[in-house]
Structure 1
Amino acid sequence: MKKVFKFFLNLLPRPLLIRLSYIARPILAFFLKGNKFTDPIDSKSFKTFLPYGYGKQRPNVLSPSTLSLERHRLLWLYLRDETDFFSAEKKVLHFAPEQCFLKRFRKLKNIDYTTTDLLSPIADVKADICDLPFKDNSYDVILCNHVLEHIPDDTKAMQELYRVMKPGGYGILQIPQDLNRECTFEDDSITDKAERSKIFGQYDHVRVYGRDYFDKLRSIGFKVDEVNYTDQLSNSEIDKYRLAKGEIIPLVYK
């Protein structure tokens, strides 16, 4: 069965696969159920997760039940175990809301929850991250994950995030990051989609962030904590939840 799934995962275009997977996930979850790996978002366990990736695929990373990836499960664990996100009254702004979080966050009684995106039909507010329609100092918590790598003027986007965050508020601004790279790389002269996918990870990414990402956030005015939360977990937990060991959570404060 695993080989059959892998065959279709490799055969189908990735965007189509993701759309179809929302329909197929109850079937996938049934056939892959087991006790080796656990998705902490819904606590369901499986004998294996699915592969995922544009171009080169990462094996055993896509949860069959929530369709979460490593970064989603890491964020969930951090919010659940290290913050008061699920208990304190907060006004929350969530950019490009992920399907694995959307319904769960909307059900929380303690948060005033707003989602926004320029194109997504499931977002509450259609808005450009570089020109947000929200008042200054509006939100206690901002979640903006794997968005900034798509934005040509990420400086303006970061300034807008800072503007709408309340003093004393915090945000988690995850991005795909090459920690072996000191400086962020971007090159608008590369226009071929296949070449952009090879260099930037996806054809619609405009840069590869390096370690200087954190300093850029600081230059906007944020206080930044570079949280390596997997350091607080055992190797068995990292494997059980299928996390990326060493992935940094960019936690920002105003």
Structure 2
Amino acid sequence: MPLAGYLRRPIRIDNGDGAPRYPVKEALAKVRAVIFRGDKIECSCCGRSFSLFMFSPYMASLCPNCLSFERYRLLCRYLLDETNFGAREARLLDIAPTWAFQEFCRRHHRVSYLSIDIRSPLAMRHMDIRALDLPDDHFDILICYHVLEHIDDETKALGELLRVLKPGGRAVIQVPILVEKTVERFELTRAQAEHILKFPDHLRGYGKDFSGKLEAAGFAVEVVPFVKKFSRDEIKRYGLDPTEDLYVCRK
């Protein structure tokens, strides 16, 4: 294997959680921490402070350390402020994991963390969201961020999420809200799809009726405007999206 490929591949750690580590990514984070040192902004995922967030073509601001972006910083802020996250034993299922959120969960030792994806090397287990090889009523917390727009059978996927969530458990299920009413790719012309969906692997554009889809799947849904609790200066400091609501689902 070429050296570059060897350095990029995930390294399984020995502490028993099964999550891969990226030594090069972690080393580069230390370099960026020096370049962006300061205290004008603060990342809710890793807890580090820097001079500014980094720009990305697809995300307005990335944390120089953990590479978190707006929606995950809002999620971490919500979990810390509203759920007493990490204060008690809890099982958490993370679908389509990111490095930043995985590291956030790993720091909370009372949270039993499991990440899954159909193919990502970052995931601890590989499985299809439409057929989860997981027990019923098992997880206290379920995180599913920007996944459903990639899934052909969203009804089956949502049914599986409901099945594995404990009664009384909490799921935060997010999708990009693009239009008034959800539209499927096959209903659009090519030009319309390029304009609305943006990405070729998005099978639908979700609208403001998304909460109704979650309720139809069996969840009790609360659309939480959590970001509105922060001042304009705090939104800038924490690098949050001021327009994003959280879809918090209960079983």
- Indicate the TM-score class for this superposition, using the shorter chain for normalisation: 0.7 to 0.9
Does the residue aligned with 1:35 lie in a helix, a strand or coil?
Answer: coil
Does the residue aligned with 1:163 lie in a helix, a strand or coil?
Answer: helix
1 CA distance for matches of 2:192 and 2:209? 24
2 CA distance for matches of 1:234 and 1:151? 36
Does the residue aligned with 1:214 lie in a helix, a strand or coil?
Answer: helix
Counterpart of 2:182, as a letter, is T
Residue among 220, 228, 248 paired with 2:245: 248
Does the residue aligned with 1:103 lie in a helix, a strand or coil?
Answer: helix
The reply on whether 1:43 has 2:47 as its aligned counterpart is yes
Does the residue aligned with 1:247 lie in a helix, a strand or coil?
Answer: coil
Equivalence for 1:176: 176
1 CA distance for matches of 2:134 and 2:211? 25
Structure 2: which 5+ runs fail to align?
1-23
Equivalence for 2:108: 108
Identity, in percent, stands at 37
Equivalence for 2:38: 34
Equivalence for 2:198: 201
**Residues 66 and 191 of structure 1: is their aligned pair in 2 closer, same or farther, counting only changes over 3 Å?**
farther
2 CA distance for matches of 1:37 and 1:50? 11
2 CA distance for matches of 1:42 and 1:164? 28
Counterpart of 1:29, as a letter, is A
The reply on whether 1:123 has 2:110 as its aligned counterpart is no
Residue pair 2:91, 2:141 contacting (<8 A) in 1 also? yes
Residue pair 2:94, 2:142 contacting (<8 A) in 1 also? yes
Equivalence for 1:69: 69
* CA deviations over 1:92-129 (Å, ceiling 9, x no partner): 11111110021331343212222111101222221100
The reply on whether 1:91 has 2:91 as its aligned counterpart is yes
**Is the deviation greater in 99-108 or in 242-251?**
99-108
2 CA distance for matches of 1:195 and 1:28? 39
The structural deviation recorded for 1:134 is 1.2
**Residues 232 and 143 of structure 1: is their aligned pair in 2 closer, same or farther, counting only changes over 3 Å?**
same
**Residues 98 and 223 of structure 1: is their aligned pair in 2 closer, same or farther, counting only changes over 3 Å?**
same
The structural deviation recorded for 1:22 is 6.1
**Is the deviation greater in 104-113 or in 206-215?**
104-113
Structure 1: which 5+ runs fail to align?
1-19
**Is the deviation greater in 21-30 or in 226-235?**
21-30
2 CA distance for matches of 1:213 and 1:206? 15
Equivalence for 1:15: none
Counterpart of 2:102, as a letter, is L
Residue pair 2:99, 2:122 contacting (<8 A) in 1 also? no
**Residues 109 and 35 of structure 1: is their aligned pair in 2 closer, same or farther, counting only changes over 3 Å?**
closer
* CA deviations over 1:25-55 (Å, ceiling 9, x no partner): 332332122222221222322222122234x
2 CA distance for matches of 1:120 and 1:205? 17
Question: Given the two structures, how large is their TM-score scaled by the length of structure 2?
Answer: 0.83
Does the residue aligned with 2:168 lie in a helix, a strand or coil?
Answer: strand
2 CA distance for matches of 1:81 and 1:107? 16
**Residues 112 and 36 of structure 1: is their aligned pair in 2 closer, same or farther, counting only changes over 3 Å?**
closer
2 CA distance for matches of 1:195 and 1:29? 41
The reply on whether 1:217 has 2:214 as its aligned counterpart is yes
Q: Which runs of structure 1 show a deviation greater than 4 angstroms over 4 or more consecutive aligned residues?
A: 20-23, 189-192, 194-198
The structural deviation recorded for 1:195 is 7.9
